[in-house]
Amino acid sequence: ANFSEQVVESFPSDISTGIYYGWACVGNGDVHKMVLSIGWNPFYKNIKKSVETHIIHTFKEDFYGEILSIVIVGYIRPEKNFDSLEALISAIQGDIEEAKRQLDLPEHLKLKEDNFFHLPEGKIVNNH
């Protein structure tokens, strides 16, 4: 789940590029573990900064146009380039496993239940 350029530009400029972990919620759905990449994705030679969310959950259908709410809990590693797609995939799999371990800690698990994720019905967020 990638954030739009407008959302990326609104992120605080002092957030370091790299890989983070936290919680994500689509619309008013369940809250799931996630891994977040902030940066230029050097392997793909992006010229624009991006914020890409990998929700650790299998969804039954696409959720384009839905509100994506995230809470960044911690930092895993800096952004870096890879020699091959296989090395990138291996690093992503390691990031996912690290996120799962960290988010199972009691101090991180409690954030899953935060009221931030429970939008009142009919609430308009950012004109949507």
Show which residues are catalytic. 52
49-70 burial, b at 16+ Cβ within 10 Å, e below that, comes to ebbebbbeeeeeeeeeeeebbb
Question: Alpha-carbon distance 14 to 12, whole Å?
Answer: 6
Check if the beta carbon of residue 103 is closer than 8 Å to that of residue 23. yes
